[in-house]
Structure 1
Amino acid sequence: MADRVTVIGWDGSPLTAAACGALGAATLVAGAAHHLALPEVPASAERIRLGSVDLAARRIAGHRGTAVVLADGDPGFFGVVRTLRGPEFGLEVEVVPAVSPVAAAFARAGMPWDDAHVVVAHPRTLRRAVNVCRAHTKVAVLTSPGAGPAELGLLMEGVHRTFVICEELGTDHEQVTVLTSDKAADHTWRDPNVVIVVGGPVGATEGGGWIAGRDPAAGPRGWTRPAQVYGGELGEGERDVLRAAQLARLGPRLGDLVWDIGCGSGAFATEAAAAGAAVIAVDLDPRSCARTEAAARRFGVQLQIVLGTAPHVLENLPEPDVVRIGGGGAAVVSAVADRRPQRIVTHAGTRDAAERVGRDLSEHGYHVECALLQSVDLDTRAWTETERSVAFLLSGELTRS
């Protein structure tokens, strides 16, 4: 096993004395081609091209001597340190960090980044990274081949954002380009690169706060807000108790894409977005779309609003993770189930209607649960009943693909 492993971050600046000292004593150096070409790398040291980090870690673990790993930026931030410290290798590492690519990118853009979300985009995680960009006003994306600015821009269709694309930071070929998201696919971009994605209305925490990213304490407490804040009567499927139960069953979260079909006042869509999810709100009524847009502005969340009739309007929407169906009947339930989201919630006014929806979801491979929700509003001055509502809450979880 290696006697000592030092991980050195490099951002294009001259290496520190600590980094030079560790390199000078190294008998094995691992890194990318541009790292191994640095003049400080000893000529006598064994060199490993850092392709697969797991393979390199095994070589380092079996090396009898002193090893150095060179990596871009801060190697503890989405870097090689996590892999090297894995229990299967048994390596103890010392880290000499440099400026991370994310910090360098925001510095080139002249922007603060304590209010930004940071995500990593690989081909397998690209869709979730895009959902974060849909849902938030400032996101830094650490890209990879096959999940770069062009792919990011293509999947952002329907959502206007500005991209600040920082290529090969810290090298002689460094370049910063600013363009709209719909133009990103028109270019070929060099790796490595970082994309800063900005746009949308200014949120309540833009002036600074105490936590990186979106402050979860910025809004009112509770999953649901009182009906009166949405500017008028709510539909049968939007009442507070049913809305809270729908949110609890779906559990929207950061990186998810939520469809809200039959968005009505925008109450559910707004509250799902407040949980950090990307939301597409759909309704056939222009007045509902306008109310939803107003609610999103009022509460500082990002929504994409689509005017059209389901199920036909759903055909060109990106794949959802979870779906709330507020209206549209059996045809909409079947069309949504055909898209295979992980969870679906809807409601019915009668037992017969609930049974029909439940059978349809079961036939599509969903495990179905149904609950009868009854709520009574009381006037607390006289403790008299003011309104009563009854609804069947149906939720389906995908059990087979």
Structure 2
Amino acid sequence: MITVVGTGTGTGTGVEAGAFGPGAPSWQGVRLAVGARRHLEAADPPPGVRRLVLGPLAPALDAVERQLSEDGGPVVVLASGDPGFFGIVRSLAERFGPEALDIRPTAPSVAVAFARAGLPWDDAAVVSAHGRDPRTAVNVCRAHPKTAVLTGPGAGPAELGAALAATGLPRTLVVASALGTADERVERLSPAEAATRAWPGEVSVVLCLDTSRALAPAPLALAGPRRPPAGWALPEDAFAHRDSMITKYEVRALALARLGPRPGDLVWDVGAGSGSVAVECARLGAAAVAVERTADGAERCRANAAAHGVDLQTVHGTAPGVLAGLPEPDAVFVGGGGRELEAIVAACALRARRTVVVTLAALDRVPAVRAALGAAGLAADGVLLQSSRLAPLPGDVVRLAAGNPVFVLWGTRPGTEGASS
């Protein structure tokens, strides 16, 4: 039997010096204790119990298996908080089976951090940056007004703060260090302030909040952040736009299908105009950046984002030059034309991790766009999209009103089709 004991959040149910806390088993018969050095020191297993400091996971699992196979003596694994929440329980269950585990959790560090902040967390997005690509955590923080980040090396308050400060989005960081210990500290500060600090290794969790939206407007029936909308490809009149200069909803529907925006992603909308594509990507949970060369267009993008209740970073500048300062995107939408179209597509195709989608009306530019996608190693494809909408006629009848044909081209990086975030 493997007993997995959560500790370290100060709830009185974890390990204490020399013994387990209330409700947990004793050390009797235990031959091996596995955990981080601080957990083993706090638990202080008695003589006769071999201690294994947890480092790389695979050797630790091998040691547990050897112990169980040699004499069948019970093993204790010590972990922080609730070890079933982004913790070691998953690896143990995969290796030894759920029936071999006796799990004794304590409060998750995320729950304790929100308690210290005086906030509920049933409407929060929770993301782990421990041993994972930190860009996913950053993108979730950009897209959601209430996020908890489980930190890790290279993905602590300083790194999160530096990435978020550059977005201009309204965010406050609540940094919870050494939760449940005598050294516990909870601090509120701006991303820019967090970026300049040297942080201790015992930071437990960072809450990233838009304080004006830190509470859900109504009680939830399903935990987690706001669900994506039931539909997309909103009608043009759902957005402020100038002289019908907006990606039509039929085109936007196909573009969104090829972009595949999802939580944890970052999407660029280059030549955003009204920002309709960026706003729809944000409504689907992705972080989005609208790049627009005109000042009134950039302001229109901000207004549309506010009207739809999403966070959108708006960059006023001319592509492709302005793109160099932006973080790496998962997907890019390029709308409109212009003499710089080929250079813009080439720059985007080199940076995109997954896909680039381009819409254009001019047949003459199709070969150059396809060539730019292919030169960056993307598999190019596309369609000519031509649709007719129902339009009313006198006598309560309708006709078909044809829209202008639009080329929708896309390039996909091989091996990324259907890849998870």
Q: TM-score, normalised by structure 1?
A: 0.92
For the residue of structure 2 that corresponds to 1:35, the secondary structure is helix
* Contact 2:331/2:352 (8 A) holds in 1: no
Q: How does 1:213-252 map to 2 (within 5 A)?
A: 213-216=224-227, 219=229, 221-232=230-241, 235=244, 238-252=247-261
* 1:335 matched residue in structure 2: 347
* Contact 2:241/2:273 (8 A) holds in 1: no
Q: Displacement of 1:385 after TM fit?
A: 3.0
Q: Deviations over 1:228-257 (max 9, x none)?
A: 111345756600100000000110111111
Q: Displacement of 1:100 after TM fit?
A: 0.6
Q: Deviations over 1:51-78 (max 9, x none)?
A: 2232222111111211111111001001
Aligned residue pairs: how many?
395
* Contact 1:24/1:41 (8 A) holds in 2: no
Say if 1:50 and 1:94 are closer, same or farther in 2 by CA, change over 3 A. Answer: same
The 2-side partners of 1:123 and 1:154 are apart by 19
Equivalent position to 1:185, from 180, 191, 195: 195
Structure 2 residue 193 is matched with structure 1 residue 168: no
* 1:395 matched residue in structure 2: 410
* % identical aligned pairs: 40
Structure 2 residue 22 is matched with structure 1 residue 14: no
The 2-side partners of 1:232 and 1:38 are apart by 61
Structure 2 residue 220 is matched with structure 1 residue 209: yes
Q: Displacement of 1:47 after TM fit?
A: 1.4
* 1:317 matched residue in structure 2: 326
Letter in 2 for 1:366: L
Structure 2 residue 269 is matched with structure 1 residue 269: no
Structure 2 residue 376 is matched with structure 1 residue 361: no
Most deviating of 279-288 and 155-164: 155-164
Letter in 2 for 1:128: T
Equivalent position to 1:113, from 115, 121, 125: 121
Q: Displacement of 1:200 after TM fit?
A: 6.9
Q: Deviations over 1:16-38 (max 9, x none)?
A: 4331x243342221122232223
* 1:379 matched residue in structure 2: 391
The 1-side partners of 2:189 and 2:348 are apart by 35
The 2-side partners of 1:119 and 1:265 are apart by 31
For the residue of structure 2 that corresponds to 1:243, the secondary structure is helix
Say if 1:244 and 1:98 are closer, same or farther in 2 by CA, change over 3 A. Answer: same
Q: TM-score, normalised by structure 2?
A: 0.88
The 1-side partners of 2:93 and 2:121 are apart by 28
Say if 1:126 and 1:265 are closer, same or farther in 2 by CA, change over 3 A. Answer: same
Say if 1:39 and 1:256 are closer, same or farther in 2 by CA, change over 3 A. Answer: closer
* Contact 1:237/1:347 (8 A) holds in 2: no
Q: Deviations over 1:343-387 (max 9, x none)?
A: 000112132221221122112221111101001122254212344
The 2-side partners of 1:203 and 1:13 are apart by 25
Say if 1:80 and 1:123 are closer, same or farther in 2 by CA, change over 3 A. Answer: closer
* Contact 2:36/2:53 (8 A) holds in 1: yes
Q: Displacement of 1:287 after TM fit?
A: 1.9
For the residue of structure 1 that corresponds to 2:42, the secondary structure is coil
The 2-side partners of 1:283 and 1:109 are apart by 37
Q: Displacement of 1:291 after TM fit?
A: 1.8
The 1-side partners of 2:257 and 2:308 are apart by 20
For the residue of structure 1 that corresponds to 2:127, the secondary structure is strand
Aligned-residue RMSD, C-alpha: 2.2
Letter in 2 for 1:45: V
Letter in 1 for 2:362: T
* Contact 1:347/1:354 (8 A) holds in 2: no
For the residue of structure 2 that corresponds to 1:37, the secondary structure is helix
* 2:364 matched residue in structure 1: 352
Q: How does 1:41-190 map to 2 (within 5 A)?
A: 41-63=45-67, 64=71, 65-87=73-95, 92-122=100-130, 124-156=132-164, 157-160=166-169, 161-190=171-200
